[in-house]
C-alpha cells in the first residue's frame, strides 16, 4: 500500500539532552493515531522529526522504505502535510488565497493555479465548513475558524499522511470535536497522526494510541490497551478510574481527586 510511514530507531537530542530514544513504529493508511504523554515527553519533537522540520541523529523516517531526506521539500509536501499547534498569519490574504497555497507543491515556478485547483480547494473548504468564509480576510477569523482554514489548506495538498501537532489545544470543546471529526471522516485512505493532550479525546477518535514518556514508547495499541489505570499512574503519576463511555464504548478517564 502506497505511502505507509515507518519509524526505525529514531533518536534525537537537543545539544547534550536526549529527547527521543530508539523509537520504532509503523503507521498504516485508514487509521487515526494519537500520540499522548506528559508535557516534555517528546511528543511534538517526534512530530517535527517525522515532518523533516528537525533532523534525527541518523536515517530513521521512511515512506515506502525511502528516507524522507531523499525527497526535496516540494515532493515531500505531496506526501506529508502538517497542521501545527499555532499558526500566525498577519497579512490580509483572503481565506480562499490561504487555502489555495496548499496546491503550491503541484505548481511549477510562476505557474498559475487553475480551475482544477479551485475544484479541489472548494471540496476541502466545504468539508471543513470554511467555504462560507472564502472572501473573508484571514486576520478577521476566530481561533476555531483559523484552525479549520489551516486544515483545509493541509487537506488541499492531498497528501496520504497528515500530522497534527496539538491542533486542539487552544480550541473550545465544540471546536475540538468539530475539528477532529474532519479527520476522522477522511481517514479511510490516509494516515492521520495527532498529538493530543486530552486522553478522552484520544480515546474517542483513535484507532491506535501511542503513549510516549521520557522520549520512549511506553505503550501502544488500541485505546483500551493503552488508556488504563496502570499506564496513567506510571506515566502521569495520577490515580484515575476508567469506565466505558456509554456512547463511544471507549475508555473514559475520571481523575481521582
Q: Each residue of 206-228: pLDDT tens digit?
A: 999 999 999 999 999 999 999 99
Q: Each residue of 12-67: pLDDT tens digit?
A: 998 889 999 999 999 999 999 999 999 989 999 999 999 999 989 899 999 988 99
For residue 91, the model assigns a pLDDT of: 80
Size of the chain, expressed as the number of residues it contains: 257
- Of 82, 80, 84, 83, nearest to 72 by C-alpha is 80
- Of 153, 150, 208, 147, nearest to 177 by C-alpha is 147
Q: Are strands 17-27 and 208-213 parallel, antiparallel or unpaired?
A: unpaired
For residue 227, the model assigns a pLDDT of: 97
Exposed e or buried b per residue across 211-233, where buried means at least 16 C-beta atoms within 10 angstroms of its C-beta: bbbebebbbbeebeebbeeebbe
pTM of the model: 0.92
Question: Cβ(209)–Cβ(221) under 8 Å?
Answer: yes
For residue 114, the model assigns a pLDDT of: 92
For residue 48, the model assigns a pLDDT of: 93
In the chain, domain spans: 5-223
Q: Could you tell me the pLDDT band of residue 2, with boundaries at 50, 70 and 90? A: low
Highest CATH level, class, for 5-223: alpha beta
Percent over 70 (pLDDT), the chain = 98
Q: Is 20 helix (H, G, I), strand (E, B) or coil?
A: strand
Amino acid at each position: 500500500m502506497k505511502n505507509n510511514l515507518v519509524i526505525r530507531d529514531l533518536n534525537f537530542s537537543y545539544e547534550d539532552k536526549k529527547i527521543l530514544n530508539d523509537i520504532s513504529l509503523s503507521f498504516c493508511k485508514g487509521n487515526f493515531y494519537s500520540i499522548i504523554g506528559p508535557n516534555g515527553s517528546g511528543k511534538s519533537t517526534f512530530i517535527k522529526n517525522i515532518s523533516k522540520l528537525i533532523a534525527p541523529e541518523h536515517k530513521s523516517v521512511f515512506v515506502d522504505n525511502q528516507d524522507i531526506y531523499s525527497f526535496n521539500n516540494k515532493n515531500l509536501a505531496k506526501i506529508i502535510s502538517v497542521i501545527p499547534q499555532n499558526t500566525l498569519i498577519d497579512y490580509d490574504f483572503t481565506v480562499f488565497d490561504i487555502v489555495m497555497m496548499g496546491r503550491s507543491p503541484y505548481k511549477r515556478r510562476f505557474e498559475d493555479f487553475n480551475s482544477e485547483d479551485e475544484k479541489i480547494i472548494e471540496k476541502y473548504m466545504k468539508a471543513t465548513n470554511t467555504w462560507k468564509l472564502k472572501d473573508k480576510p484571514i486576520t478577521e477569523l476566530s481561533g476555531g475558524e483559523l484552525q479549520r482554514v489551516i486544515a483545509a489548506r493541509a487537506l488541499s495538498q492531498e497528501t496520504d499522511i497528515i500530522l497534527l501537532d496539538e491542533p486542539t489545544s487552544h480550541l473550545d470543546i465544540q471546536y475540538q470535536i468539530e475539528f477532529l471529526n474532519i479527520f476522522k471522516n477522511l481517514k479511510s485512505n490516509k494516515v492521520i497522526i495527532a498529538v493530543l493532550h486530552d486522553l478522552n479525546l484520544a480515546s474517542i477518535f483513535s484507532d491506535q494510541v501511542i503513549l510516549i514518556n521520557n522520549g520512549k514508547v511506553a505503550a501502544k495499541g488500541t485505546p483500551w490497551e493503552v488508556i488504563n489505570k496502570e499506564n496513567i499512574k506510571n506515566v502521569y503519576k495520577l490515580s484515575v478510574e476508567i469506565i466505558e463511555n456509554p456512547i463511544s464504548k471507549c475508555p473514559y478517564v475520571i481523575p481521582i481527586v
